[in-house]
Amino acid sequence: MRHLAKAVFVAGALVCGVSGPLSAQADLDYGDLRERMVAIIEMHAAVVNGEAGVEPPGERVLEAMQRVERHRFVPEDLAPLAYLDTPLPVGHQQNIAQPYIIALMTELAEVQPGDRVFETGTGAGYHAALLAELGAEVFSVEIVGALAERAANVLLDLGYDDVDIRIADGYDGWSEAAPFDAMLIKESVVDVPPSLIAQLKPGGRMVVPIGPPDGQQHLTVLSKDKAGNVTRRKVLPVRFSPFQGGRRT
């Protein structure tokens, strides 16, 4: 492994006010688009709350999303689409996740200033930036080296120096940096790896999609009490890609 220096809801046809050729990026007000994205997340959350009883993301998370420049984390030609409530491709057959799901997972993790937070699937680095914006010290693992290196560079350029990125298999966690106050597992698992549960601090929370790779999964919150006992709470049906990488036995 290499260590880099710090450095089943479908979005509707909402376009956040983007019109005209995608090449006309100079005319876009990205700050305005971020505000519109947050408004759409709030509408999306209201629908999900009504249908599934899922509490919406809180004010701290939404305010952080208004500050993080999501368009800096996607390929340049997709920057005008960065604030749609939909996943976007970032290369190497990977996507930057839907903003609503990012907001929901972050809220469920209850990230507080000073928390040590582990995440798998660094991808473009946007979620790591959001966690850092909330005051967390972030330990992020990405198995695709080119993605990890690009994310590290973007995060450094934007001043997020409380993010450590490692090129490795997230299934194994990051034992040297554990225990963690919160853990965000952004690939599906049939069973949560014992190694990850062991790295969760007593009193901590893990947010993870659990279920078969080709069937229904549930976004689930694992909470570990002070005695080390773990409880689970299903939140929402979702569809995530399974972990990439090595053996799963």
Three-state secondary structure of 215-240? CCEEEEEEEECCCCCEEEEEEEEECC
Would you place residue 4 in the very low, low, confident or very high pLDDT band (cuts 50, 70, 90)? low
Give me the residue label for tokens 């994310």.
151
Percentage of the chain with pLDDT > 70?
Answer: 87
**pLDDT of the residue at 12:** 30
Reference 70, options 86, 46, 56, 55; nearest CA is: 86
**pLDDT of the residue at 247:** 52
Q: Do the beta carbons of residue 38 and residue 14 sit within 8 Å? A: no
The contacts of residue 149 (CB under 8 Å, 6+ apart) are 4, 167
Cβ neighbours, 10 Å, residue 95 = 16
pLDDT at 10 over 80: no
Q: Do the beta carbons of residue 151 and residue 125 sit within 8 Å? A: yes
pLDDT at 22 over 70: no
pLDDT at 77 over 60: yes
Residues pairing with 224 in the sheet:
230
Pairwise pLDDT comparison (201 vs 6), residue with the higher score? 201
Reference 69, options 21, 34, 20; nearest CA is: 34
pLDDT at 165 over 90: yes
Backbone angles phi, psi at 207, to 5 degrees: -110, 125
Backbone angles phi, psi at 10, to 5 degrees: -100, 130
What's the whole-number mean pLDDT along residues 172-185?
A: 97
Backbone angles phi, psi at 233, to 5 degrees: -135, 115
Question: Please, how many CA atoms are within 13 Å of residue 52, restricted to the half-sphere of its CB?
Answer: 16
**Helix 59-67 with 30-52: angle, nearest 10 deg:** 150
Q: Do the beta carbons of residue 195 and residue 172 sit within 8 Å? A: yes
